[in-house]
Amino acid sequence: TQLLEQSPQFLSIQEGENLTVYCNSSSVFSSLQWYRQEPGEGPVLLVTVVTGGEVKKLKRLTFQFGDARKDSSLHITAAQPGDTGLYLCAYDRGSTLGRLYFGRGTQLTVWP
Amino acid sequence: DTGVSQDPRHKITKRGQNVTFRCDPISEHNRLYWYRQTLGQGPEFLTYFQNEAQLEKSRLLSDRFSAERPKGSFSTLEIQRTEQGDSAMYLCASSLEPANNEQFFGPGTRLTVL
């Protein structure tokens, strides 16, 4: 059972467009993490959101954690080809083990 | 610090053969994780080490899979009698205490079982 639902699964856009991808669940999380994974590489952590309603910005990327801490979104302004990759959201259960549970990801392709 | 490294990067094998992958974590990291990622999916947890102790194993880790971290540094993941369903990217990650510290992922080993 996939606890984290990510949408859309695929997104193909032109350079300069804006986009939003979503990470939804019916469960409440203490935090959510966003990763980007490029082809042939491992995921790289972009941000961790912790507080309900929190907004974090990383250059052209804006991350928001839902007020109820059940969902999160990633908005990219003026997308560039370098933003191409698989965007994954993930959570841990807050245990001492630290294992991560990932969604299926959104595969973003930005065309020049 | 060169980050997490994995070897080999790619492995093609025939069904029924055994394969072994190696992960070298960031040197001072005491936690090490193995994940598996198939096409169209996010990474799925396989197993976790704290120093040399294997503290958790997923149900995905069948009897054909074994992982070790003998000296609390590098780790190996062995798959015996490979099956086509084992074809996937095998990712290693490492981190420091406490548990919510960032996990740094290696580039993965892509396994293809023919």
**pLDDT digit string, tens, across residues B13-71:** 999 999 999 999 999 899 999 999 999 899 999 999 999 999 989 888 889 999 999 98
Q: How much is the pLDDT for A95? A: 65
Are A40 and B108 an interchain contact pair (Cβ–Cβ within 8 Å)?
A: yes
Cis peptide before B70 (omega within 30 of 0): no
Whether B47 and chain A come into contact, CB under 8 Å, resolves to: no
Residue B1: pLDDT band (50, 70, 90) is low
Are A88 and B43 an interchain contact pair (Cβ–Cβ within 8 Å)?
A: yes
CA-based nearest distance A15→chain B, Å: 24
- Each residue's pLDDT tens digit, A35-90: 999 988 999 999 999 999 999 999 999 999 999 999 999 999 999 999 999 999 99
Q: What phi, psi does A81 have (nearest 5°)? A: -55, -30
- b/e map A7-30, b = 16+ CB within 10 Å: eeeebebeeeeebebbbebeeebe
